[in-house]
């Protein structure tokens, strides 16, 4: 993100702030937002995390999934939050990634 992109964020998320999370989370976030904006994100890989709660306990007890080295590709104003990748799809992406790693050895 550029400095210009960062400067636009407060206006973009204005009136979306929410006092409480709408998801089960083990993280203590500074801010929570009503889900209205979809971000397209790429990363190097999905990894197990004791801090992140995406798919918590689905792969290994006491861990969730996190994106290593995440990068914002673009904001998807053409998509609704309901169109975002589901937890089940993220778990399948993680398992698929493991199969590729195991197949390369």
For residue range 11-55, what is the model confidence (pLDDT) as tens digits? 888 888 877 776 777 778 888 888 889 999 999 999 999 988 899
Give backbone dihedrals phi and psi of 10, rounded to 5 degrees, phi first: -55, -40
Grade residue 62 by pLDDT with cuts at 50, 70 and 90. very high
pLDDT band at 105 (very low <50, low <70, confident <90, very high): low
Domains and CATH numbers, the chain: 3-104 (2.40.50.140)
Confirm whether pTM is higher than 0.95: no
Q: Minimal CA–CA distance to 1: which of 62, 71, 77, 51?
A: 71
């Amino acid at each position: 993100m550029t400095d210009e992109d960062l400067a636009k964020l407060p206006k973009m998320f204005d009136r979306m702030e929410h006092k409480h999370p709408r998801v089960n989370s083990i993280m203590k976030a500074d801010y929570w937002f009503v889900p209205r904006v979809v971000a397209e994100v790429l990363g190097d890989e999905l990894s197990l995390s004791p801090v992140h709660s995406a798919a918590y306990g689905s792969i290994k007890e006491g861990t969730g999934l996190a994106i290593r080295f995440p990068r914002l590709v673009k904001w998807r104003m053409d998509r609704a939050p309901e169109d975002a990748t589901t937890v089940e799809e993220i778990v399948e992406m993680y398992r698929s990634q493991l199969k590729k790693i195991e197949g390369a050895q």
